[in-house]
Chains A and B, each alone.
Chain A
Amino acid sequence: MINVQGLGFRFSLFLVVAAMLVVLTTAEFFYRATYENEINEANNDIEELFQTVGATASIAAFLEDEDLAKEAINGLVKTNKILAASIKSETLYYQANVTEAINKNTEPRVFVVRHPFMPEESLAEVNVYPNFEYIISQAEKISTDNSYSLYAEALVVGIVALFITYYIIISPMLRVGRSLHKITPGTNERIDMPDYHAKSEIGALVKDTNQLLSKVEEQFTQERQLREEIEFLEKRFRMLFENAKTATVLMAENGIIELRNKAFNDLVEKTGLGIKQDYGELLDELFDTPEAMKSALQEAFARNEFATGEYKLKSSADESAIWVQLIASPLITEEGERYFQLALNDISSRRQELQKLALQADFDALTGIYNRNGGEKLIAKLMRKDHQFALALIDLNGFKAVNDIYGHDAGDEVLIFVAEQLKEKIRKNDVAIRWGGDEFMLLLQADDEDSVQKVVDKVNSGVKQPFYFNNETKPTVVSMSVGVAFYPETSRNLHALIKLADIAMYKAKQNKVSAPDDYLIFANQYRLDDEDMS
């Protein structure tokens, strides 16, 4: 209940101690003053006592009446303050206790007794022996009592002061303190104003503290709002970063990755390299051709520009190639540190798609050899480079029957078979093209009819192999008719060249029944040239 360290206890302790010190230092003075005062008082009392018996003593001296003298003297001695007394005139002497007083060496006080009716005439002397022992003991007693009462007063003042300070200062301060202790800064809680203290120093303290609390609350609120905004933004940014489909890393100059998102980790996993802290300077461990990538990036960074490019990543054997579009930009922080931001967009599927599209454009989907489009491009290219070549246009005989009898799937099978034979039997530098329907074309590296004849014969022997469809016992056989034109001997013009080959092939077709061995015919360039050129 009582807090020894508390203000109330301290205040009252100091007050009481101070009061006691004051009493201690003044008590001696008061004691002495009281003592002397009491002695003087006693002397005055003795005088007054004498005055009261003076008339009796006077009459006794006048009448020489011993009874009256006795009465006067006994009256004096009766009081505690007088030890002994005597009256002495010419005719009269009476004393009480004088021997004792003389034994104690007490000096008497001498009073003159005057004539009751003639004051100018003195009749006797009265000796009064004060009871110094009693007077001193009384004086001491009173002085001591005074000192004690001073101590008691100091104590009472201390206690009263304690109560007053407790109720006026300490109690309201304690309430304020407890109230403040319970308050959580930043809330709308405030200290209650103690009663009757609205205009006191405590009230001022409470007001100031409440103002401070208001400011703190205001700041807390602002900070909280700011923090919420930042958190909101951070969350959004994180979401944006984490969920970005673009693999993004923030990388220190030494290659240590400071920040990476999920897309990056997914991408790294595809390469077969585990998740690591770094992948070399500029992620070069990830790339298939790190040198090209690095030189491109460093060149751009030297100009303080961002670099972009498409690069192939290393990939494990079973995975298909991973291509990324790399966007790398150098960053300089406020502290002057250099970082790189690298964004890797997986463009593998797009690249595959493109390749596929390119393939579809130039190759025949069914047989896998060049289609007409691819073939024409190839011919154009050969012609541009002024290569000599032989163009052999092939038309299948009997294919239509297969289609009609066994269906399109069987026809497709035949076409695939023929294409395979073409690919198989031609030489390394020769090219097989499906020209359309059951028409094929061979581009042969040859400038003479013999070598052409040799290759085509080889092909023909392959194509003529019998087929067995659907467990049929009767084999199916397709044959081919071929028309050949030479570039540039037959014609320098592509359309003319194809046309001449086609005419030759048509001629050969006419022989398919009559002379099946005469299936290859070389085009006559002169005649056609004349016709077409005209």
Chain B
Amino acid sequence: MNLFKRFPLILALALFMHGMASAAQAQEKIVVVTNLNNDVQVLDKKGLIDLFMGKYAAFPNGKVATPIDIEMDAELKSQFYKSLVGLPLARVNAYWSRLKFSGRVKPPAVEQTLDDIKLRLEEDESALAYVYESTVTDNMKVVYRFD
């Protein structure tokens, strides 16, 4: 009897907890990182767009830049592009499809998992990737933070 009386309260509490969890996940920030040894300390959003959308293949300091897309974590990728150019992934893919035959402009390189990206970032000085802020390691240098 007592348990039934309290049921609505319990339910409300459970829902509240669940909501808090979701918000925590959505609010998880994405950062753009490079190899620790990269000279670039910081990048602006325009510079990121120019690199990730193929306008330039080099950092402002003239060194080659290799932007990297994550293949397996679609959520991360989608969230990144949404934040960067305000477009859904489909549009981004369409953009690249259009430019595919020009040959002059290249889309970002592709790594499968976050671990692959971590590895690439450690090995490749030109690498430029996006990860969740929580997964940033000591081997990464954050050059841009999305608010």
Contact = CB atoms under 8 A, between A and B. Distances in A.
Nearest to B53: A117
Interface stretch (B11-19, B23-31, B95-103): B95-103
Contact of A65 (B49, B84, B87, B102): B102
Interface string B102-125: 101100000000000000000000
A21 to B, nearest CB: 58
B55 A118 contact: no
Interface string B30-56: 000000000000000010010001110
A118 B104 contact: no
B86 interface: yes
Contact of A118 (B49, B102, B105): B49
Contacts of B95: 59, 116
B2 to A, nearest CB: 59
Contacts of A339: none
Given A59-B95, A118-B46, A118-B49, A65 B85 contact: no
Given A62-B53, A63-B54, A64-B55, A117 B102 contact: no
Interface in A108-146: 116-118
A98 interface: no
A68 interface: yes
A117 B105 contact: no
Interface in B45-79: 46, 49, 53-55
A64 B53 CA distance: 12
Contacts of B49: 117-118
A419 B105 CA distance: 192
Contact of B105 (A56, A65, A116): A65
Contacts of A59: 95, 98-99
A117 B98 CA distance: 15
Nearest to B103: A67
Contacts of B104: 65, 67
Interface string A51-84: 0000010010011110110000000000000000
Contact of A68 (B46, B53, B87, B102): B102
- Chain B interface bracket (under 10, 10 to 19, 20 to 34, 35 or more): 10 to 19
Interface residues of A, number: 11
Interface string B77-92: 0000000111100000
A62 B46 contact: no
Contacts of A64: 55
B55 A62 contact: yes
Nearest to A64: B55
Nearest to A121: B46
Contacts of B53: 62, 116-117
Given A59-B95, A63-B105, A68-B102, A117 B86 contact: yes
A116 B54 CA distance: 12
A351 B95 CA distance: 157
Given A63-B105, A67-B102, A117 B54 contact: no
Contacts of B54: 63
Contacts of A67: 102, 104
Nearest to A119: B86
A79 to B, nearest CB: 21
A89 to B, nearest CB: 13
Contacts of B84: 117
Contacts of A65: 102, 104-105
B110 to A, nearest CB: 20
A117 B46 CA distance: 9
Please give me the 4 A-B residue pairs with the lowest Cβ-Cβ distance, nearest first: A117-B85, A117-B49, A63-B55, A63-B105
Given A59-B95, A63-B105, A117-B84, 16 more contacts: A56-B98, A59-B99, A63-B54, A63-B99, A65-B105, A67-B102, A67-B104, A68-B102, A116-B53, A116-B85, A116-B95, A117-B49, A117-B53, A117-B85, A117-B86, A118-B49
Interface of A: 56, 59, 62-65, 67-68, 116-118
28 contacts: A56-B98, A59-B95, A59-B98, A59-B99, A62-B53, A62-B55, A63-B54, A63-B55, A63-B99, A63-B105, A64-B55, A65-B102, A65-B104, A65-B105, A67-B102, A67-B104, A68-B102, A116-B53, A116-B85, A116-B95, A117-B49, A117-B53, A117-B84, A117-B85, A117-B86, A117-B87, A118-B46, A118-B49
